[in-house]
Amino acid sequence: MKSPLIDNLQYANFSPEIFAQMRAGGVDAVHVTIAYHEVFREMVLNLERWNRWFEDHADLIFKGTTAADVRRAQETGRTAIFFGFQNPSPIEDDIGLVEICHQLGVRFMQLTYNNQSLLATGCYEDDDTGLTRMGREVVTEMNRVGMVVDMSHSAERSTLEAIDHSSRPIAITHANPHWWHPALRNKSDTVLRALTARGGMLGFSVYPHHLAGGTDCTLDSFCGMIAEAANRYGAEHLGIGTDLCQDQPDSIVEWMRVGRWTKGIDYGEGSASNAGFPPMPTWFNDNRDFCNIRDGLSAAGLSGEDVDGIMGGNWLRFYETSFGPEELSDA
């Protein structure tokens, strides 16, 4: 069977039209965000909405929980949807909810969004104190049940400590190298070397605030960056995590950045004059445009095997070893 196409992060305003675009683009699996600042019960309401979509659009999408579901998606001409959190809010202050969320189908959880959480420090905080006591315990529990530690929005020390403390490889599902574009959300060479040395995965983002040149970033620049990352870290540790926010109203940006933690407006990587979603680069507007990235990677000099891996084969291999319970030693 051919190598799959996997996008390991989207927060689109999902709809039948977007599900149809996934199929038109040949997308076999998507990791979707089902919580930013929601507490457990609110997150469950989001699961209910997805269950209706799975029921109403069973010809296009289905719920994915194992790596085998990616192959099932290929065999049946559908897209497997995997769930993840961009914040640990749904587990509240209860470590037992890690296993409950995994039982509900959640396979990724960020230890922080942009702020300090009960588990670690977000990338917008001035003082990065690393993993908290609860953070270390939660990472261990995530390792045990098979929920991937995601540090996409976390600060440097916290990320390095998560990589070191985790007994299983972790992921940065949607970010780019800081050496290419110095956004707060992008990751240092030190982090990326530590991540990949331990078998972790980096998903490259096309969200304009993460791109060199923003909306005007060229496909050549983006794919050239990926080729350089392959030289530095090994192509087998790289994938795509677009951070696609298609069809979302600008009010969602406020929810993402503000949640309930402030009465003010946190403009994050934008500005007061440009606080909404920036336009996407012309070469990537929706799920039908992954062919442009594939062609760009080939033009950047990557081998066919490396391109197949970055477009999804590497994520599939990561899924195969990450979503089940941790194997215990006989010793």
Of the candidates 308, 170, 312, 298, the one whose C-alpha atom is nearest the C-alpha of residue 242 is 312
**pLDDT value at 330 more than 70:** no
CA distances from 124 to 121, 143, 199 (A): 8, 26, 26
Q: What are the boundaries of each domain within the chain?
A: 6-322
The mean-pLDDT minimum among 51-60, 182-191, 254-263 falls in 254-263
Of the candidates 41, 33, 28, 38, the one whose C-alpha atom is nearest the C-alpha of residue 10 is 33
**Band (251; pLDDT cuts 50, 70, 90):** confident
- 195-217 pLDDT, tens digit per residue, is 999 999 999 999 999 999 999 99
Tell me the mean pLDDT in the region 150-157. 98
Residue 63 structure tokens: 């719920």
Report the pLDDT value the prediction gives residue 331, as an integer from 0 to 100.
39
Helical H segments across 16-95, by residue range: 16-24, 40-56, 68-76
Report the pLDDT value the prediction gives residue 274, as an integer from 0 to 100.
52
Report the pLDDT value the prediction gives residue 43, as an integer from 0 to 100.
98
**Band (135; pLDDT cuts 50, 70, 90):** very high
Q: Which CATH architecture has domain 6-322?
A: Alpha-Beta Barrel (3.20)
User: CB within 8 A of 140, min separation 6: which ones?
Assistant: 165, 167
For the packed helices 219-233 and 290-299, what is the interaxial angle rounded to 10 degrees? 60
Tell me the mean pLDDT in the region 143-162. 98
Rg (CA), the chain: 18
- DSSP state, residue 20: H
